[in-house]
Structure 1
């Protein structure tokens, strides 16, 4: 928590104190359980068939415009990639499971993990069209943020995307991330330039954003038909 600016003996500002700080742990939980969904560490034996529909040739080509991947052409190729994902510690990949159908509808990951300074990013947000703009999609983001900020105790939770990716920028703002600026000429991908938009939630900001998300996710905010009564931005 910020407790006031510090000054050194030369009367120079040196930042807010961070007391009793210790290095944070790497993510290692294999399951994050929610009401409507759960996040499971990616497993080729469990998730290949479902995620091939998200990552394979039948996926919506528009979904790949701002992702530094292209759809996989065949299941063998994707199986090899999914195996690599399952072994990776950074990024640490989760499959998003619809608890009603039991199907994996997309993936999300914790990445750019810096335990020493307590910074971590949510990335590899790859959703099927079935998952987009649903209660499950928001709950998946909620579960991952709770794990990173509450359970693991990271200080800074990041989101970044191509500055031209309006849906991703809008999603970040809707979830409570604060826009910080643009890194120009930050990345070259798909034979083009990417200027990268940066967003974050700090540990001190998370309780308010967590409460917003819990209010939106509450059963009382949804009709019997599953329609939201209030948008997240209204909380």
Structure 2
């Protein structure tokens, strides 16, 4: 079972969510345009602190999903959360979910590194066989993110759940243990500081690293 409290990276670290993260996260989720970021999540957005605190207290108490705060090493502030969920240690299967990235985290190196830190912990340290990603079939951003990170599309589960008053079809993606080394190598290469210029722009894309490794 996942027990690690802190996962350290070059640009961010993941910490098991605790009360010290509440103020930072509430502040981060109030950034302009954040309302639509909760469209495909069963909670949020939160217009006031009371509503947020109800949600935050629920994720604090949860053990599955097991929530981590994404902390920006440059500022020391929590700017999003991710979670491990549907934890099946017996069969070595686990799902990454509850990706709640604030506008301060989206489309940054930290956003990718947070995913890599969880992947590496699960596959390299815990030696799981299967790492899953699931999302609303209408969530095009999440589907593209899964493919970019190296997940493979497996299919569509129709009428899988109901949330926020509508039916959801769920798209399933996964990485399995035999695929992980290639995925890991591409992510390590992309996240290297040498892959970014003085303006912070990538020199090579993640897909480029992965495609070259296949070639």
Matched, 1:51 2:25: yes
Where structure 1 has 5 or more consecutive residues not aligned to the other structure, the ranges are 1-25
Residues 134 and 171, structure 2, Cα contact 8 Å, conserved in 1: yes
Q: How far, CA to CA, are the matches of 1:139 and 1:227 in structure 2?
A: 15
Aligned to 1:79, the other structure's residue is in SS state helix
Where structure 2 has 5 or more consecutive residues not aligned to the other structure, the ranges are 210-215
Give 2:48's aligned residue: 74
Hey, which of these two has a bigger chunk of helix by percent?
2
Give 1:57 deviation, angstroms: 8.6
- Out of 101, 121, 128, the residue aligned to residue 154 of structure 1 is 128
Q: How far, CA to CA, are the matches of 2:32 and 2:3 in structure 1?
A: 31
Give 1:39's aligned residue: 14
Residues 183 and 196, structure 1, Cα contact 8 Å, conserved in 2: yes
Aligned to 1:32, the other structure's residue is in SS state strand
Give 1:80 deviation, angstroms: 3.5
- Spell out, residue by residue over 1:183-232, the C-alpha distance to the aligned partner (whole angstroms, 9 max, x if none): 01111111111110000000110010000000000111001221110111
Aligned to 1:123, the other structure's residue is in SS state strand
Q: How far, CA to CA, are the matches of 1:58 and 1:72 in structure 2?
A: 13
Give 1:197's aligned residue: 171
Residues 43 and 82, structure 1, Cα contact 8 Å, conserved in 2: no
Matched, 1:90 2:43: no
Q: How far, CA to CA, are the matches of 1:68 and 1:80 in structure 2?
A: 13
The TM-score normalised by the length of structure 1 is 0.85
Which protein shows a greater Rg?
A: 1
In structure 2, relative to structure 1, the CA distance for the partners of 1:75 and 1:57 (3 Å cut) is farther
The number of equivalent residue pairs is: 209
In structure 2, relative to structure 1, the CA distance for the partners of 1:214 and 1:78 (3 Å cut) is same
Aligned to 1:145, the other structure's residue is in SS state helix
Give 2:212's aligned residue: none
Give 1:74 deviation, angstroms: 2.3
Q: How far, CA to CA, are the matches of 2:64 and 2:26 in structure 1?
A: 22
- Out of 152, 157, 182, the residue aligned to residue 156 of structure 2 is 182
